[in-house]
Amino acid sequence: MRLINKITVFLPCFLIMIAGCAKTLNRQELSGEVSYKGKPILIGSVTFVGEDDNNPTTISAEIKEGKFTVLKENGLVPGNYKVRFSALDRIAIAPADTTLPAIPPREILPEKHTVKGMNLSIKDQEKNFFKLELD
């Protein structure tokens, strides 16, 4: 079978399979605000990890100026999640002298937020907005 014939036969099947899989996932949009010690996290990330084998969904979202958003097409299926955070003190600083290494950012959150995290539930067909205040 010639390559063009294989592509013509298998590509539509593959696209139908992908479309079918996408429809079976009940993804939800989510957003939120994240602060640490009363101040918005300026640069960081939030990671959601499904808590059981029936929910293997995992996503990370960038936190900018204390806010994050995950659109529905990239969202999470309803269920329980372990949520971990990262917050950086700055963006990497490149020194004027290019022979010197850049100064990397430093994590400012304690392990209870970066490793242990917290538990959150994503609900079906609800506005999944979270106001998260880390101490």
Predicted pLDDT at 10: 54
Q: What is the CATH number of the domain that holds 79?
A: 2.60.40.1120
Range of the structural domain that residue 96 is part of:
3-134
Cα–Cα distance for residue pair 34/64, rounded to 1 Å: 9
- Give the chain's domain count: 1
Candidates 135, 129, 73; CA nearest to 109 is 135
Candidates 83, 91, 88, 89; CA nearest to 132 is 83
Q: What is the dihedral of CA 86, 88, 94, 96, to 10 degrees?
A: 180
Q: What is the pLDDT along the chain (135 residues), one digit of tens a residue?
A: 554 544 544 555 455 554 445 457 889 999 999 999 999 999 999 999 998 777 778 899 999 999 999 999 999 999 999 999 999 998 877 778 888 888 888 999 999 999 999 999 999 987 899 999 999
- The distance of Cα 66 from the centroid of its chain, to the nearest Å, equals 14
Predicted pLDDT at 57: 81
CB count in 10 Å sphere of residue 128 = 19
Candidates 127, 129, 122, 124; CA nearest to 26 is 124
Full-prediction pTM beyond 0.75?
no
Cβ 103 vs Cβ 60: under 8 Å: no
Could you tell me the two tokens for 118? Answer: 């917290």
Cα–Cα distance for residue pair 48/120, rounded to 1 Å: 9
Predicted pLDDT at 12: 54
